[in-house]
Chain A
Protein backbone atom coordinates (compact mmCIF):
# COMPACT_ATOMS: atom_id res chain seq x y z
CA UNK A 1 0.00 0.00 0.00
CA UNK A 2 1.19 3.50 -0.80
CA UNK A 3 -0.14 6.53 1.02
CA UNK A 4 0.25 10.12 -0.07
CA UNK A 5 -0.35 12.46 2.84
CA UNK A 6 -1.04 16.16 2.26
CA UNK A 7 1.35 16.54 -0.66
CA UNK A 8 2.15 20.11 -1.67
CA UNK A 9 4.47 20.81 -4.58
CA UNK A 10 5.30 24.10 -6.27
CA UNK A 11 7.57 25.06 -9.14
CA UNK A 12 8.81 28.59 -8.55
CA UNK A 13 5.61 30.58 -7.89
CA UNK A 14 3.18 28.01 -9.29
CA UNK A 15 1.57 25.59 -6.84
CA UNK A 16 1.03 22.41 -8.85
CA UNK A 17 -0.16 20.06 -6.08
CA UNK A 18 -2.37 21.47 -3.36
CA UNK A 19 -2.61 19.28 -0.28
CA UNK A 20 -3.25 16.01 -2.12
CA UNK A 21 -3.86 12.89 -0.03
CA UNK A 22 -4.67 9.45 -1.42
CA UNK A 23 -4.27 5.78 -0.60
CA UNK A 24 -3.30 3.23 -3.24
CA UNK A 25 -4.10 -0.37 -2.39
CA UNK A 26 -2.00 -3.48 -2.93
CA UNK A 27 -3.19 -5.90 -5.61
CA UNK A 28 -5.28 -3.21 -7.31
CA UNK A 29 -4.78 -1.13 -10.42
CA UNK A 30 -4.99 2.35 -8.96
CA UNK A 31 -5.58 5.11 -11.49
CA UNK A 32 -4.76 8.79 -11.25
CA UNK A 33 -6.89 10.59 -13.79
CA UNK A 34 -7.25 14.19 -14.86
CA UNK A 35 -6.84 16.58 -17.74
CA UNK A 36 -3.45 17.39 -19.22
CA UNK A 37 -1.78 19.93 -16.94
CA UNK A 38 -3.85 18.97 -13.90
CA UNK A 39 -0.75 17.88 -11.99
CA UNK A 40 -1.08 14.10 -12.22
CA UNK A 41 2.39 13.51 -13.68
CA UNK A 42 3.93 15.73 -10.98
CA UNK A 43 1.93 13.74 -8.41
CA UNK A 44 3.20 10.43 -9.78
CA UNK A 45 6.79 11.69 -9.93
CA UNK A 46 6.49 12.96 -6.37
CA UNK A 47 5.23 9.57 -5.21
CA UNK A 48 8.23 7.89 -6.80
CA UNK A 49 10.70 10.50 -5.55
CA UNK A 50 11.64 12.10 -8.86
CA UNK A 51 10.25 15.35 -7.43
CA UNK A 52 10.59 16.27 -3.77
CA UNK A 53 7.37 17.38 -2.10
CA UNK A 54 7.48 20.82 -0.46
CA UNK A 55 5.42 19.38 2.37
CA UNK A 56 3.54 16.18 3.13
CA UNK A 57 4.79 12.63 3.00
CA UNK A 58 4.74 9.46 0.94
CA UNK A 59 4.56 6.18 2.84
CA UNK A 60 5.33 2.78 1.31
CA UNK A 61 3.85 0.06 3.51
CA UNK A 62 4.53 1.98 6.74
CA UNK A 63 7.95 3.16 5.53
CA UNK A 64 8.14 6.93 5.30
CA UNK A 65 9.82 7.42 1.92
CA UNK A 66 9.86 11.22 2.15
CA UNK A 67 11.81 11.23 5.39
CA UNK A 68 14.53 8.90 4.11
CA UNK A 69 18.00 9.84 2.88
CA UNK A 70 19.04 9.03 -0.71
CA UNK A 71 20.91 5.94 0.50
CA UNK A 72 17.98 4.69 2.59
CA UNK A 73 15.66 5.13 -0.38
CA UNK A 74 17.73 2.76 -2.53
CA UNK A 75 16.25 -0.27 -0.74
CA UNK A 76 12.70 0.87 -1.55
CA UNK A 77 13.69 1.86 -5.08
CA UNK A 78 14.77 -1.73 -5.73
CA UNK A 79 11.13 -2.64 -5.11
CA UNK A 80 9.84 -0.10 -7.63
CA UNK A 81 9.26 -0.64 -11.34
CA UNK A 82 8.28 2.26 -13.52
CA UNK A 83 6.89 2.51 -17.02
CA UNK A 84 7.40 5.92 -18.60
CA UNK A 85 5.20 7.66 -21.14
CA UNK A 86 7.75 7.35 -23.94
CA UNK A 87 8.93 3.89 -22.75
CA UNK A 88 12.37 5.41 -21.96
CA UNK A 89 14.27 2.35 -23.13
CA UNK A 90 18.04 2.78 -23.33
CA UNK A 91 18.47 3.27 -27.05
CA UNK A 92 22.09 2.13 -27.10
CA UNK A 93 21.12 -1.26 -25.66
CA UNK A 94 19.30 -4.18 -27.24
CA UNK A 95 15.90 -5.30 -25.98
CA UNK A 96 17.46 -8.07 -23.90
CA UNK A 97 20.11 -5.75 -22.44
CA UNK A 98 17.37 -3.30 -21.47
CA UNK A 99 15.43 -5.97 -19.59
CA UNK A 100 18.63 -7.34 -18.06
CA UNK A 101 19.80 -3.91 -16.94
CA UNK A 102 18.20 -3.88 -13.44
CA UNK A 103 19.56 -7.38 -12.88
CA UNK A 104 23.05 -6.32 -14.01
CA UNK A 105 22.93 -3.47 -11.53
CA UNK A 106 21.35 -5.11 -8.50
CA UNK A 107 21.64 -8.89 -8.64
CA UNK A 108 24.57 -11.22 -8.19
CA UNK A 109 23.21 -13.79 -10.62
CA UNK A 110 25.37 -15.28 -13.36
CA UNK A 111 24.96 -13.99 -16.90
CA UNK A 112 23.08 -17.16 -17.82
CA UNK A 113 20.61 -16.71 -14.94
CA UNK A 114 20.08 -13.07 -15.83
CA UNK A 115 19.43 -13.93 -19.47
CA UNK A 116 16.98 -16.59 -18.39
CA UNK A 117 15.12 -14.10 -16.22
CA UNK A 118 15.12 -11.49 -19.02
CA UNK A 119 13.71 -14.05 -21.44
CA UNK A 120 11.07 -15.06 -18.92
CA UNK A 121 9.98 -11.41 -18.51
CA UNK A 122 9.92 -10.90 -22.28
CA UNK A 123 7.80 -14.03 -22.71
CA UNK A 124 5.49 -12.79 -19.94
CA UNK A 125 4.74 -9.68 -21.99
CA UNK A 126 4.28 -11.84 -25.09
CA UNK A 127 7.48 -10.87 -26.87
CA UNK A 128 9.51 -13.44 -28.76
CA UNK A 129 12.55 -13.20 -31.01
CA UNK A 130 13.22 -9.54 -30.36
CA UNK A 131 16.11 -9.97 -27.91
CA UNK A 132 18.78 -8.69 -30.25
CA UNK A 133 16.82 -5.82 -31.74
CA UNK A 134 17.34 -2.22 -30.66
CA UNK A 135 14.37 -0.16 -29.37
CA UNK A 136 14.34 1.90 -32.58
CA UNK A 137 13.75 -1.31 -34.55
CA UNK A 138 10.49 -2.28 -32.83
CA UNK A 139 7.00 -0.71 -32.74
CA UNK A 140 5.70 1.64 -30.04
CA UNK A 141 3.49 -1.09 -28.56
CA UNK A 142 6.42 -3.50 -28.41
CA UNK A 143 8.56 -0.82 -26.77
CA UNK A 144 5.93 -0.44 -24.04
CA UNK A 145 5.95 -4.18 -23.49
CA UNK A 146 9.75 -4.22 -23.26
CA UNK A 147 9.51 -1.38 -20.73
CA UNK A 148 7.01 -3.45 -18.70
CA UNK A 149 9.35 -6.46 -18.90
CA UNK A 150 12.20 -4.27 -17.61
CA UNK A 151 9.98 -2.89 -14.85
CA UNK A 152 9.10 -6.38 -13.56
CA UNK A 153 12.58 -7.88 -13.93
CA UNK A 154 13.35 -7.45 -10.23
CA UNK A 155 9.91 -8.64 -9.05
CA UNK A 156 8.82 -5.20 -7.83
CA UNK A 157 6.24 -4.62 -5.12
CA UNK A 158 5.23 -1.29 -6.62
CA UNK A 159 4.58 -0.49 -10.27
CA UNK A 160 4.16 3.06 -11.57
CA UNK A 161 2.94 3.74 -15.09
CA UNK A 162 2.89 7.21 -16.60
CA UNK A 163 0.32 7.23 -19.41
CA UNK A 164 1.19 3.70 -20.51
CA UNK A 165 -0.99 3.73 -23.62
CA UNK A 166 -0.31 7.21 -24.96
CA UNK A 167 0.59 7.15 -28.64
CA UNK A 168 -0.81 3.64 -29.14
CA UNK A 169 -3.73 2.55 -31.27
CA UNK A 170 -6.89 1.62 -29.26
CA UNK A 171 -6.38 -2.13 -29.67
CA UNK A 172 -2.74 -2.10 -28.55
CA UNK A 173 -3.66 0.29 -25.73
CA UNK A 174 -6.16 -2.26 -24.38
CA UNK A 175 -3.56 -5.04 -24.66
CA UNK A 176 -1.11 -2.95 -22.59
CA UNK A 177 -3.79 -2.06 -20.00
CA UNK A 178 -4.81 -5.69 -19.61
CA UNK A 179 -1.20 -6.79 -19.37
CA UNK A 180 -0.56 -4.32 -16.54
CA UNK A 181 -3.68 -5.51 -14.72
CA UNK A 182 -2.73 -9.18 -15.13
CA UNK A 183 0.78 -8.55 -13.83
CA UNK A 184 -0.60 -6.57 -10.88
CA UNK A 185 -2.75 -9.52 -9.83
CA UNK A 186 -0.07 -12.11 -10.56
CA UNK A 187 2.63 -10.41 -8.46
CA UNK A 188 0.21 -8.77 -5.97
CA UNK A 189 1.74 -5.37 -6.65
CA UNK A 190 0.58 -1.89 -5.78
CA UNK A 191 0.12 -0.43 -9.24
CA UNK A 192 -0.46 3.25 -9.89
CA UNK A 193 -1.34 4.33 -13.41
CA UNK A 194 -1.49 7.88 -14.63
CA UNK A 195 -3.93 8.27 -17.47
CA UNK A 196 -6.52 10.41 -19.17
CA UNK A 197 -7.70 7.58 -21.39
CA UNK A 198 -11.34 6.69 -20.69
CA UNK A 199 -10.88 3.15 -22.01
CA UNK A 200 -8.34 2.58 -19.23
CA UNK A 201 -10.56 4.24 -16.65
CA UNK A 202 -13.51 1.99 -17.45
CA UNK A 203 -11.48 -1.10 -18.30
CA UNK A 204 -8.97 -1.46 -15.48
CA UNK A 205 -9.77 1.34 -13.00
CA UNK A 206 -10.32 -0.56 -9.77
CA UNK A 207 -9.51 2.48 -7.67
CA UNK A 208 -9.54 5.95 -9.20
CA UNK A 209 -8.20 9.27 -7.94
CA UNK A 210 -9.33 12.32 -9.91
CA UNK A 211 -7.00 15.33 -9.86
CA UNK A 212 -8.16 18.73 -11.04
CA UNK A 213 -6.02 21.87 -10.96
CA UNK A 214 -3.66 20.27 -8.47
CA UNK A 215 -6.34 19.14 -6.03
CA UNK A 216 -7.93 15.76 -5.43
CA UNK A 217 -11.57 16.19 -6.42
CA UNK A 218 -12.87 12.67 -6.28
CA UNK A 219 -11.90 9.10 -5.35
CA UNK A 220 -13.74 5.87 -6.12
CA UNK A 221 -14.05 2.86 -8.44
CA UNK A 222 -14.81 2.53 -12.16
CA UNK A 223 -18.36 1.47 -11.30
CA UNK A 224 -18.86 4.66 -9.30
CA UNK A 225 -17.13 7.02 -11.70
CA UNK A 226 -20.03 7.06 -14.16
CA UNK A 227 -22.62 7.68 -11.44
CA UNK A 228 -20.90 10.47 -9.60
CA UNK A 229 -22.64 13.80 -9.11
CA UNK A 230 -19.31 15.65 -8.96
CA UNK A 231 -19.69 18.21 -11.73
CA UNK A 232 -15.95 18.69 -12.35
CA UNK A 233 -15.47 14.93 -12.65
CA UNK A 234 -18.45 14.60 -14.95
CA UNK A 235 -17.13 17.37 -17.19
CA UNK A 236 -13.96 15.31 -17.59
CA UNK A 237 -15.57 11.87 -17.87
CA UNK A 238 -18.31 12.89 -20.28
CA UNK A 239 -16.20 15.17 -22.44
CA UNK A 240 -16.66 12.61 -25.21
CA UNK A 241 -20.06 12.82 -26.92
CA UNK A 242 -19.84 9.08 -27.53
CA UNK A 243 -19.62 8.32 -23.82
CA UNK A 244 -22.54 10.68 -23.10
CA UNK A 245 -24.59 8.64 -25.54
CA UNK A 246 -23.63 5.31 -23.98
CA UNK A 247 -24.41 6.35 -20.44
Chain B
Protein backbone atom coordinates (compact mmCIF):
# COMPACT_ATOMS: atom_id res chain seq x y z
CA UNK B 1 0.00 0.00 0.00
CA UNK B 2 2.82 2.35 0.89
CA UNK B 3 4.44 1.70 -2.49
CA UNK B 4 1.18 2.45 -4.33
CA UNK B 5 0.69 5.62 -2.27
CA UNK B 6 4.13 6.93 -3.24
CA UNK B 7 3.73 5.85 -6.86
CA UNK B 8 0.43 7.70 -7.17
CA UNK B 9 1.70 10.80 -5.43
CA UNK B 10 4.89 10.73 -7.54
CA UNK B 11 2.78 10.59 -10.73
CA UNK B 12 0.78 13.65 -9.63
CA UNK B 13 4.01 15.37 -8.60
CA UNK B 14 5.53 14.82 -12.05
CA UNK B 15 2.32 16.06 -13.72
CA UNK B 16 2.37 19.23 -11.61
CA UNK B 17 6.04 19.80 -12.33
CA UNK B 18 5.30 19.99 -16.06
CA UNK B 19 2.67 22.73 -15.75
CA UNK B 20 3.46 25.86 -17.71
CA UNK B 21 5.88 28.18 -15.85
CA UNK B 22 4.57 31.66 -14.94
CA UNK B 23 7.48 33.50 -16.55
CA UNK B 24 9.55 31.90 -19.28
CA UNK B 25 12.45 34.29 -18.78
CA UNK B 26 12.70 33.33 -15.12
CA UNK B 27 12.44 29.64 -16.07
CA UNK B 28 15.25 29.86 -18.63
CA UNK B 29 17.47 31.60 -16.07
CA UNK B 30 16.74 28.85 -13.55
CA UNK B 31 17.53 26.11 -16.07
CA UNK B 32 20.90 27.70 -16.88
CA UNK B 33 21.67 27.96 -13.17
CA UNK B 34 20.77 24.30 -12.60
CA UNK B 35 22.89 23.23 -15.59
CA UNK B 36 25.81 24.86 -13.85
CA UNK B 37 25.04 23.57 -10.33
CA UNK B 38 24.00 20.03 -11.28
CA UNK B 39 25.97 19.45 -14.48
CA UNK B 40 29.12 21.52 -14.79
CA UNK B 41 30.04 21.07 -11.15
CA UNK B 42 29.91 17.29 -11.69
CA UNK B 43 32.37 17.23 -14.61
CA UNK B 44 35.38 16.83 -12.28
CA UNK B 45 34.08 13.84 -10.34
CA UNK B 46 32.79 12.18 -13.52
CA UNK B 47 36.16 12.65 -15.26
CA UNK B 48 38.20 11.33 -12.31
CA UNK B 49 36.03 8.25 -11.79
CA UNK B 50 35.83 7.52 -15.52
CA UNK B 51 39.59 7.83 -15.96
CA UNK B 52 40.36 5.31 -13.22
CA UNK B 53 37.56 2.95 -14.22
CA UNK B 54 38.77 2.96 -17.84
CA UNK B 55 42.29 2.20 -16.64
CA UNK B 56 41.15 -0.62 -14.35
CA UNK B 57 38.90 -2.15 -17.02
CA UNK B 58 41.86 -2.36 -19.44
CA UNK B 59 44.19 -3.90 -16.86
CA UNK B 60 41.58 -6.43 -15.72
CA UNK B 61 40.82 -7.39 -19.33
CA UNK B 62 44.54 -7.85 -19.96
CA UNK B 63 44.79 -10.07 -16.89
CA UNK B 64 41.80 -12.19 -17.92
CA UNK B 65 42.65 -12.44 -21.63
CA UNK B 66 46.25 -13.51 -21.25
CA UNK B 67 46.02 -16.18 -23.95
CA UNK B 68 48.29 -16.28 -27.05
CA UNK B 69 45.48 -16.67 -29.58
CA UNK B 70 43.56 -13.59 -28.39
CA UNK B 71 44.81 -10.49 -30.24
CA UNK B 72 45.89 -7.62 -27.99
CA UNK B 73 43.62 -5.13 -29.76
CA UNK B 74 40.78 -6.92 -27.93
CA UNK B 75 41.70 -4.75 -24.96
CA UNK B 76 40.70 -1.65 -26.94
CA UNK B 77 37.43 -3.29 -28.02
CA UNK B 78 36.65 -4.35 -24.45
CA UNK B 79 37.46 -1.01 -22.88
CA UNK B 80 35.45 0.85 -25.52
CA UNK B 81 32.34 -1.32 -25.29
CA UNK B 82 32.36 -1.44 -21.50
CA UNK B 83 32.56 2.33 -21.28
CA UNK B 84 30.00 2.94 -24.03
CA UNK B 85 27.45 0.31 -23.12
CA UNK B 86 27.44 0.36 -19.38
CA UNK B 87 29.89 2.42 -17.41
CA UNK B 88 29.46 5.89 -18.88
CA UNK B 89 25.70 5.88 -18.65
CA UNK B 90 24.73 3.59 -15.78
CA UNK B 91 27.68 3.94 -13.43
CA UNK B 92 27.96 7.67 -13.91
CA UNK B 93 24.21 7.98 -13.27
CA UNK B 94 24.54 5.97 -10.07
CA UNK B 95 27.32 8.27 -8.93
CA UNK B 96 25.25 11.32 -9.82
CA UNK B 97 22.24 9.85 -8.00
CA UNK B 98 24.39 10.19 -4.89
CA UNK B 99 25.87 13.59 -5.60
CA UNK B 100 23.07 15.39 -7.43
CA UNK B 101 20.16 13.46 -5.92
CA UNK B 102 21.14 14.23 -2.35
CA UNK B 103 21.77 17.87 -3.28
CA UNK B 104 18.30 18.27 -4.81
CA UNK B 105 16.49 16.45 -2.00
CA UNK B 106 18.27 18.36 0.76
CA UNK B 107 17.82 21.72 -0.97
CA UNK B 108 14.09 21.28 -1.55
CA UNK B 109 13.65 19.54 1.82
CA UNK B 110 15.25 22.47 3.62
CA UNK B 111 12.99 24.86 1.72
CA UNK B 112 10.00 22.79 2.85
CA UNK B 113 10.86 22.73 6.56
CA UNK B 114 11.75 26.43 6.60
CA UNK B 115 8.40 27.35 4.95
CA UNK B 116 10.06 28.74 1.81
CA UNK B 117 7.82 26.47 -0.29
CA UNK B 118 4.76 27.84 1.55
CA UNK B 119 5.85 31.33 0.47
CA UNK B 120 5.68 30.21 -3.17
CA UNK B 121 2.30 28.56 -2.64
CA UNK B 122 0.84 31.65 -0.96
CA UNK B 123 2.01 33.77 -3.89
CA UNK B 124 0.17 31.43 -6.26
CA UNK B 125 3.33 30.07 -7.84
CA UNK B 126 3.25 26.38 -8.78
CA UNK B 127 5.97 25.42 -6.31
CA UNK B 128 6.54 21.95 -7.78
CA UNK B 129 7.06 23.35 -11.25
CA UNK B 130 9.09 26.30 -10.03
CA UNK B 131 11.50 24.17 -8.00
CA UNK B 132 11.65 20.85 -9.82
CA UNK B 133 11.14 21.45 -13.55
CA UNK B 134 14.33 23.55 -13.98
CA UNK B 135 16.28 20.77 -12.26
CA UNK B 136 14.77 18.07 -14.49
CA UNK B 137 15.43 20.06 -17.66
CA UNK B 138 18.88 21.22 -16.51
CA UNK B 139 20.06 17.72 -15.64
CA UNK B 140 18.57 16.19 -18.80
CA UNK B 141 20.44 18.75 -20.88
CA UNK B 142 23.73 18.18 -19.06
CA UNK B 143 23.64 14.41 -18.65
CA UNK B 144 24.46 13.53 -22.29
CA UNK B 145 27.40 15.92 -22.08
CA UNK B 146 28.64 14.23 -18.89
CA UNK B 147 28.24 10.80 -20.47
CA UNK B 148 30.28 11.85 -23.51
CA UNK B 149 32.97 13.29 -21.23
CA UNK B 150 32.97 10.00 -19.31
CA UNK B 151 33.31 7.96 -22.51
CA UNK B 152 36.23 10.02 -23.76
CA UNK B 153 38.09 10.22 -20.45
CA UNK B 154 37.44 6.54 -19.63
CA UNK B 155 38.80 5.32 -22.96
CA UNK B 156 41.78 7.65 -22.56
CA UNK B 157 42.39 6.19 -19.08
CA UNK B 158 42.24 2.69 -20.52
CA UNK B 159 44.70 3.59 -23.28
CA UNK B 160 47.11 5.27 -20.86
CA UNK B 161 47.03 2.38 -18.37
CA UNK B 162 47.43 -0.21 -21.12
CA UNK B 163 50.33 1.55 -22.80
CA UNK B 164 52.11 2.60 -19.58
CA UNK B 165 51.91 -0.88 -18.09
CA UNK B 166 53.01 -2.46 -21.37
CA UNK B 167 50.03 -4.84 -21.71
CA UNK B 168 49.09 -3.40 -25.09
CA UNK B 169 50.73 -1.13 -27.63
CA UNK B 170 49.17 2.21 -28.50
CA UNK B 171 48.61 1.07 -32.10
CA UNK B 172 46.84 -2.14 -31.05
CA UNK B 173 44.63 -0.34 -28.51
CA UNK B 174 43.56 2.26 -31.07
CA UNK B 175 42.95 -0.48 -33.63
CA UNK B 176 40.70 -2.12 -31.04
CA UNK B 177 38.80 1.09 -30.52
CA UNK B 178 37.99 1.17 -34.24
CA UNK B 179 37.30 -2.55 -34.65
CA UNK B 180 33.64 -3.54 -35.17
CA UNK B 181 32.46 -0.21 -33.84
CA UNK B 182 28.67 0.08 -33.53
CA UNK B 183 27.67 3.78 -33.47
CA UNK B 184 24.26 2.85 -32.04
CA UNK B 185 25.97 2.09 -28.73
CA UNK B 186 26.49 5.81 -28.26
CA UNK B 187 22.84 6.54 -29.04
CA UNK B 188 21.83 3.78 -26.63
CA UNK B 189 23.99 5.25 -23.88
CA UNK B 190 22.66 8.77 -24.46
CA UNK B 191 19.02 7.65 -24.40
CA UNK B 192 19.67 5.78 -21.16
CA UNK B 193 21.35 8.86 -19.68
CA UNK B 194 18.31 11.02 -20.48
CA UNK B 195 15.98 8.58 -18.72
CA UNK B 196 18.32 8.33 -15.75
CA UNK B 197 18.62 12.13 -15.51
CA UNK B 198 14.84 12.39 -15.37
CA UNK B 199 14.64 9.69 -12.70
CA UNK B 200 17.35 11.24 -10.51
CA UNK B 201 15.98 14.78 -10.59
CA UNK B 202 12.29 13.91 -10.28
CA UNK B 203 12.69 11.27 -7.55
CA UNK B 204 15.05 13.47 -5.53
CA UNK B 205 12.68 16.41 -5.97
CA UNK B 206 9.76 14.26 -4.85
CA UNK B 207 11.43 13.14 -1.61
CA UNK B 208 12.63 16.65 -0.86
CA UNK B 209 9.26 18.24 -1.58
CA UNK B 210 7.35 15.97 0.77
CA UNK B 211 9.79 16.28 3.66
CA UNK B 212 8.06 16.75 7.01
CA UNK B 213 9.74 17.77 10.24
CA UNK B 214 13.18 19.29 10.66
CA UNK B 215 16.81 18.90 9.72
CA UNK B 216 16.91 15.22 10.70
CA UNK B 217 14.07 14.47 8.28
CA UNK B 218 15.84 16.45 5.55
CA UNK B 219 18.76 14.03 5.92
CA UNK B 220 16.41 11.07 5.79
CA UNK B 221 14.79 12.43 2.63
CA UNK B 222 18.20 12.77 1.01
CA UNK B 223 19.04 9.18 1.84
CA UNK B 224 15.69 7.95 0.49
CA UNK B 225 16.19 9.98 -2.67
CA UNK B 226 19.58 8.37 -3.32
CA UNK B 227 18.42 4.82 -2.52
CA UNK B 228 15.19 4.98 -4.53
CA UNK B 229 16.72 6.70 -7.55
CA UNK B 230 19.63 4.19 -7.59
CA UNK B 231 17.21 1.26 -7.57
CA UNK B 232 15.13 2.87 -10.33
CA UNK B 233 18.25 3.45 -12.41
CA UNK B 234 19.14 -0.24 -12.17
CA UNK B 235 15.56 -1.28 -12.98
CA UNK B 236 15.26 1.03 -15.97
CA UNK B 237 18.73 0.00 -17.13
CA UNK B 238 17.42 -3.54 -17.42
CA UNK B 239 14.20 -2.47 -19.15
CA UNK B 240 15.95 -0.17 -21.64
CA UNK B 241 18.64 -2.73 -22.43
CA UNK B 242 15.99 -5.34 -23.15
CA UNK B 243 14.05 -2.87 -25.31
CA UNK B 244 17.00 -1.45 -27.26
CA UNK B 245 19.59 -4.18 -27.52
CA UNK B 246 17.74 -7.47 -27.26
Contact = CB atoms under 8 A, between A and B. Distances in A.
Interface stretch (B113-121, B134-142, B160-168, B182-190): B113-121
14 contacts: A49-B122, A76-B124, A77-B123, A77-B124, A80-B122, A84-B115, A88-B115, A88-B118, A89-B116, A90-B111, A91-B116, A102-B123, A105-B23, A106-B123
A3 to B, nearest CB: 19
A84 B111 CA distance: 13
Nearest to A81: B122
Contacts of B115: 84-86, 88
Nearest to B33: A92
A76 B121 CA distance: 12
B114 A86 contact: yes
B121 A88 contact: no
B23 A74 contact: no
B22 interface: yes
Among the interface residues A74, A76, A88, which one has the most CB atoms of the partner chain B within 10 A? A88
A223 to B, nearest CB: 32
Interface in B71-125: 110-111, 114-116, 118-119, 121-125
B123 A104 contact: no
Contacts of B119: 82, 84, 88, 90
B22 A106 contact: yes
Contacts of B26: 104-105
Interface string A137-170: 0000000000000000000000010000000000
A104 B121 contact: no
Nearest to A84: B115
B23 A48 contact: no
Interface residues of B, number: 15
A74 B123 CA distance: 8
A247 interface: no
Interface of B: 22-23, 26, 110-111, 114-116, 118-119, 121-125
Nearest to A150: B119
B122 A77 contact: yes
Contact of B124 (A73, A88, A91, A160): A73
B29 to A, nearest CB: 9
Interface in A84-138: 84-86, 88-91, 102, 104-106
Contacts of A86: 114-115
A59 B118 CA distance: 21
A91 B112 CA distance: 12
Given A88-B114, A106-B22, A50 B123 contact: no
A90 B116 contact: yes
Contacts of B121: 49-50
B21 to A, nearest CB: 10
A48 B122 CA distance: 7
Contacts of A102: 123
Interface in A25-62: 45, 48-50
A94 to B, nearest CB: 14
Nearest to A85: B115
A104 B23 contact: yes
A91 B111 CA distance: 9
